[in-house]
Amino acid sequence: MSDPATSIESQARVIEVAGPRHVAIIMDGNGRWAKARGLPRAAGHREGVEALRRVVEACRELGVEHLTVFSFSTENWRRPPSEISALFDLLRLYVARDLARLRQEGVRIRIIGSREGLEPDLLRIIDECVTTTGHNTAFNLNIAFNYGGRAEIVEAVRAAARAVSRGEIAPDAIDESFLSACLWTRDLPDPDLLIRTSGEQRISNFLLWGCAYTEIVFMEERWPDFDRGCMERALDVFRSRQRRFGGVGA
Ligand code: IPE
Ligand code: IPE
Ligand code: MG
């Protein structure tokens, strides 16, 4: 068996040279972008979809394997119903406009989050994205939709408890890898880089488990203004970091 400390160090060295394999983004600032222009918040969300298209393209060209974007949080239900339905309509529109092209280009789409509270047509759209792109391998676009990091951990703990009650695992045998395998994000590598736009500096309940050792880059640009240049800057900052994973580094 390989020494875990050595393999984590060599993994860190590879990532430093190669750039991040998995980039996660908290796409924030749509509302402020719109307000600054005297537009309704929904206009900021619409413009945010354009930024998403640019960034998916940039990540593919820059050699990122996984892009995970936060598009609706379990706490975003606190927003006015009209804004919630505008956000849901955008997912519908994005899938209607982009799914066929993304599928053809080899993009695998995963939609990560709770199904609770979502309308049946949205659930059908989510299932369609996942099943029709499931065999693709060129790039992974993971959309965190109705996602909350704590909700994800609660669901994982429930799944583990059910496995215990069926006698499939002893409580003391539950370890990090077992619990990881119960998460919604179970097939994803941990994010290497987390970007949050719009100057806010918090996690807002995104990928709590997976971000244990993720490098975080906060950027001032509001999400609708985010482009390839911003992504390249974030990758440069990432490459300048030294990841130590609790060790002492090189
Ligand atoms: C991010 O933009 C999009 C979602 C949360 C869905 P916001 O809507 O949070 O924009 P601000 O933070 O109010 O500017
Ligand atoms: C986080 O942004 C959620 C998404 C980007 C989908 P919020 O704008 O909802 O986060 P807070 O409320 O400012 O922390
Ligand atoms: Mg916000």
pLDDT tens-digit map of 53-95: 999 999 999 999 999 999 999 999 999 999 999 999 999 999 9
pTM: 0.93
Concatenating the DSSP letter of every residue in 36-81 gives: HTT--HHHHHHHHHHHHHHHHHHHHHTT-SEEEEEEEETTGGGS-H
Cα separation, 84 vs 4, whole angstroms: 44
Cα separation, 105 vs 242, whole angstroms: 34
Looking at residue 124, what is its pLDDT?
98
Catalytic site includes residue 28:
yes
Confidence of residue 1 (pLDDT cuts 50, 70, 90): very low
pLDDT average, residue stretch 99-117: 98
The domain ranges of the chain are 19-147+191-239
Is residue 116 within 8 A of residue 88, CB to CB? The reply is: no
Residues by chain with Cβ below 5 Å of ion ligand 3: 28
Q: What does the chain come to in residues?
A: 250
**Cα dihedral sign, 178-184-185-186:** positive
Ligand nearest to the CA of 76: 2
For the chain, helix, strand, coil in percent to 5 are 50, 15, 35
Enumerate residues lining ligand 2, CB below 6 A.
26-28, 70-73, 76, 200, 202, 204
The Å distance, Cα 110 to ligand 2 centre, comes to: 20
| CATH superfamily placement of domain 19-147+191-239 | Decaprenyl diphosphate synthase-like (3.40.1180.10)
**Side-chain half-sphere CA neighbours of 211 within 13 A:** 22
Three-state DSSP class for residue 213: helix
- Residue closest by Cα to atom 12 of ligand 1: 29
Confidence of residue 2 (pLDDT cuts 50, 70, 90): very low
